[in-house]
Chain A
Amino acid sequence: MKFLKTLDSKFFHDVIPAKPMGKYVHFITIRVTESYPLFQTDGELNKARVRAGIENKEPISRLAMFKRKQSTPERLTGRELLRNYKIGDSEKCDYNVDFSKTTPDCILYGFAIGDSGSEKSKVVVDTAYSITPFDDSHLNFTLNAPFENGTMSRQGEVTSRINSQDHILPQVFFPSIVTLKDPTEAGFLYVFNNILRTRHYGAQTTRTGRVRNELVGVIFADGEIVSNLLWTQKIYDVMSNATPKQINPPDPLNEDEVLEAATQAITALMSQECISHTDFVGASFTQLLSEVKSITSNETRLQEMLTQANDESSIYAQTWVLKSGKKDPKKDTKVNKKAAAVTE
């Protein structure tokens, strides 16, 4: 324990363990769209037809934010920082092409390299679902490339440069829990910082994917906790059963009400869990969050944290990952190093 005073050291490991040891930390976040992001495959926004709430059982279509569309940008945020401060092997570590296997990113978020082994992710993210239905959370935009005079035809020639695309509206809320298994203190801060800093999700070629992560709390437990889907459904129930009703389509939801309902919902759901857990939600979380922010916003402290995370992951790599590779040096040829981590 070097960085945080608000947390008990029992929540963390001193070194990254080789085996799952049953310590979990869950980051409880609400992802709020701030511009018009795109989460799609095959030219269509991702959606899922599920029950609206736990009590309100009618089915609705929801927007879906797939897991890798959440974890990839967060990984890249962390990698950018490591490169910026020239920490560890970050220069040599090529994402999805040639992982160095030693950086905190490789060890915490995992990699898979054909024949030369795979590191299981310690960070697990699940598909997040919008609270509001698909129909009230998207808009179809027409995109065109007109001539300079602003019209689509010139001297009788009509251009075909016109298309349309569904976009997710601003102020759509995606409750999402990020789970980190077997954290060290520096590993916890590394992942926490990535979530706090990441501002863009979704299609990389567009510049419209601004999303803000509002953290509601952090839960330490000895196992998995509720799913994103159940939490989202509970929030839907809380907000639609409130008087006056807080879900009034097509109006966007009020962020303060969402955060309050989210806190209420997670507290209610956690009380039904049958595992041991320590919750930092509401007032107890405010103190922790400001302590974490004081580290991540201070360049010296941030570098200290990144260096610590890097040292731990290098030690882990030397002990477990690179050691087993040495047994058969032939296996580590350039060909086999081709990475195979899926980022969807």
Chain B
Amino acid sequence: MVSIYRCQIELHDSLYYATREIGRLYETEPIIHNYALCYALGLVDSQIYSTIVAEEHSYRYFCPEQVPKYEEHLTPLNQQGIYVTPARSLNHYSILNTWKYANNNYHVEMEKTQKNIPSFGRAKEIAEESRFEFFVISQKELKLPKWIRLGKWMSKAEVTVEQLPKHKISEGIFTCTHPLNPLDVMFTNQVISYDVVNMPPVSLIQNVQMRGQYYQFDGIPNLKIPVRIEYRFRS
């Protein structure tokens, strides 16, 4: 029996990640990618959720290179039947912060820059007390952590989980009001129309009209979640 959880995130610190880089302005889009959520919730390479990955891909404190391993890390979640959707904002506001690199020398000489790495910039962050919502679909009962850390600054956020009432599966053309990861749905459902939210590594889609099977819940008529979503990296 599939369990579906509606989860809410409340930020307790300002949240930053670079969805877009516009010169020296780094913008945080108020939408959280589902890959990011899997890591933040501790679902990747975890004994508790039986998602241990091969030793050479294991999650370590030291990263020798900046190459993501989404496929290696997220495939075990498919095997356990755990899927996390991207999170949309329920209410949020943004703030601008300036950041810079610093060093602790008493004497500083101007050095010729050898690499094109900016030393200062402005980050548009999502302010504390903003709230997000996402869904977790799982074959087994899950217990998620109450406190997680998100974004580049590892900002603390509170997670509240509500198990949704019994669902039924319907079929036909429907509109999903929540953002989705197109790679994870387009091979099992026919996607008709959508808006794109540009973000690396996989842009998300929202206001999606699609044909296929979907979960429906008693008393929540507007909530429709496509059935058979899983992480996919190659067709």
- Chain A positions within 8 Å of B, measured between CB atoms, are 17-20, 41-42, 46, 48-51, 66-68, 72, 76, 79, 94-97, 114-122, 124, 126-127, 204, 223-230, 273-275, 320-321, 324-325, 327, 335, 338, 340-344
Bound-complex Cα distance A115 to B117 (A)? 12
Are A48 and B98 in contact, CB atoms less than 8 angstroms apart? Answer: no
Q: Which of B21-70 contact A (CB under 8 A)?
A: 45, 58-66
Bound-complex Cα distance A321 to B61 (A)? 10
Interface CB pairs A-B, < 8 A, 5: A19-B45, A41-B98, A126-B13, A227-B13, A227-B147
Q: Does B227 contact A (CB under 8 A)?
A: no
Q: With a CB–CB cut-off of 8 A, which chain B residues contact A19?
A: 45, 58-61
Q: With a CB–CB cut-off of 8 A, which chain B residues contact A204?
A: 102
Q: With a CB–CB cut-off of 8 A, which chain B residues contact A340?
A: 101, 117
Q: Which of B205-222 contact A (CB under 8 A)?
A: none
Are A50 and B146 in contact, CB atoms less than 8 angstroms apart? Answer: no
Please tell me which one of the listed residues A48, A94, A116 contacts residue B103 in the complex, with CB atoms under 8 A apart: A94
Smallest Cβ-Cβ distance to B45: which chain A residue: A19
Q: With a CB–CB cut-off of 8 A, which chain B residues contact A224?
A: 145-149, 156
Are B117 and A118 in contact, CB atoms less than 8 angstroms apart? Answer: no
Are B59 and A115 in contact, CB atoms less than 8 angstroms apart? Answer: no
Q: Does B155 contact A (CB under 8 A)?
A: yes
Please tell me which one of the listed residues B12, B60, B103 contacts residue A227 in the complex, with CB atoms under 8 A apart: B12
Given contacts A51-B129, A120-B63, A126-B12, contact A227 B117 (CB under 8 A): no
Are B127 and A48 in contact, CB atoms less than 8 angstroms apart? Answer: yes
Q: With a CB–CB cut-off of 8 A, which chain A residues contact B114?
A: 335, 338
Are A126 and B156 in contact, CB atoms less than 8 angstroms apart? Answer: yes
Are A20 and B147 in contact, CB atoms less than 8 angstroms apart? Answer: no
Are B59 and A117 in contact, CB atoms less than 8 angstroms apart? Answer: no
Number of A-B contacts (CB under 8 A): 125
Bound-complex Cα distance A20 to B46 (A)? 10
Are A342 and B101 in contact, CB atoms less than 8 angstroms apart? Answer: yes
Are A228 and B115 in contact, CB atoms less than 8 angstroms apart? Answer: no
Are A229 and B63 in contact, CB atoms less than 8 angstroms apart? Answer: no
Given contacts A19-B60, A117-B62, contact A50 B129 (CB under 8 A): yes
Bound-complex Cα distance A117 to B65 (A)? 5
Are A20 and B59 in contact, CB atoms less than 8 angstroms apart? Answer: yes
Given contacts A124-B149, A229-B13, A340-B117, contact A97 B103 (CB under 8 A): yes
Bound-complex Cα distance A60 to B118 (A)? 35
Q: With a CB–CB cut-off of 8 A, which chain B residues contact A17?
A: 61
Given contacts A95-B103, A96-B103, contact A127 B61 (CB under 8 A): no
Are A119 and B102 in contact, CB atoms less than 8 angstroms apart? Answer: no
Please tell me which one of the listed residues A18, A68, A229, A338 contacts residue B12 in the complex, with CB atoms under 8 A apart: A229
Given contacts A114-B115, A227-B147, A227-B156, contact A344 B100 (CB under 8 A): yes
Are B103 and A344 in contact, CB atoms less than 8 angstroms apart? Answer: no
Are B64 and A117 in contact, CB atoms less than 8 angstroms apart? Answer: yes
Q: With a CB–CB cut-off of 8 A, which chain A residues contact B187?
A: none
Q: With a CB–CB cut-off of 8 A, which chain A residues contact B62?
A: 18, 117-120, 320-321, 324
Bound-complex Cα distance A122 to B102 (A)? 20
Are A114 and B12 in contact, CB atoms less than 8 angstroms apart? Answer: no
Q: Does B184 contact A (CB under 8 A)?
A: no
- Contact pattern, B 58-86, Cβ under 8 Å of A = 1, otherwise 0: 11111111100000000000000000000
Bound-complex Cα distance A342 to B98 (A)? 12
Are B61 and A120 in contact, CB atoms less than 8 angstroms apart? Answer: yes
Q: With a CB–CB cut-off of 8 A, which chain A residues contact B12?
A: 126, 227-230
Q: Does B223 contact A (CB under 8 A)?
A: no
Bound-complex Cα distance A266 to B135 (A)? 31
Q: Which of B101-157 contact A (CB under 8 A)?
A: 101-105, 114-115, 117, 127-129, 145-149, 153-156
15 extra interface residue pairs, beta carbon distance < 8 Å, beyond A127-B13, A320-B62: A19-B60, A94-B105, A114-B115, A116-B64, A117-B63, A117-B64, A118-B63, A122-B61, A124-B154, A127-B155, A228-B13, A228-B156, A324-B62, A343-B100, A343-B101
| Residue from B65, B97, B128 having most chain A Cβ neighbours under 10 A | B128
Are B102 and A343 in contact, CB atoms less than 8 angstroms apart? Answer: yes
Q: With a CB–CB cut-off of 8 A, which chain A residues contact B129?
A: 50-51, 229
Are A118 and B66 in contact, CB atoms less than 8 angstroms apart? Answer: yes
Q: With a CB–CB cut-off of 8 A, which chain A residues contact B63?
A: 117-120
Q: With a CB–CB cut-off of 8 A, which chain A residues contact B60?
A: 18-19, 320
Q: With a CB–CB cut-off of 8 A, which chain A residues contact B155?
A: 126-127
Bound-complex Cα distance A343 to B101 (A)? 5
Bound-complex Cα distance A228 to B153 (A)? 15
Q: With a CB–CB cut-off of 8 A, which chain B residues contact A225?
A: 147
Q: With a CB–CB cut-off of 8 A, which chain B residues contact A76?
A: 104
Bound-complex Cα distance A72 to B146 (A)? 28
Nearest Cβ on chain A to B163's Cβ, whole angstroms: 16
Nearest Cβ on chain A to B9's Cβ, whole angstroms: 12
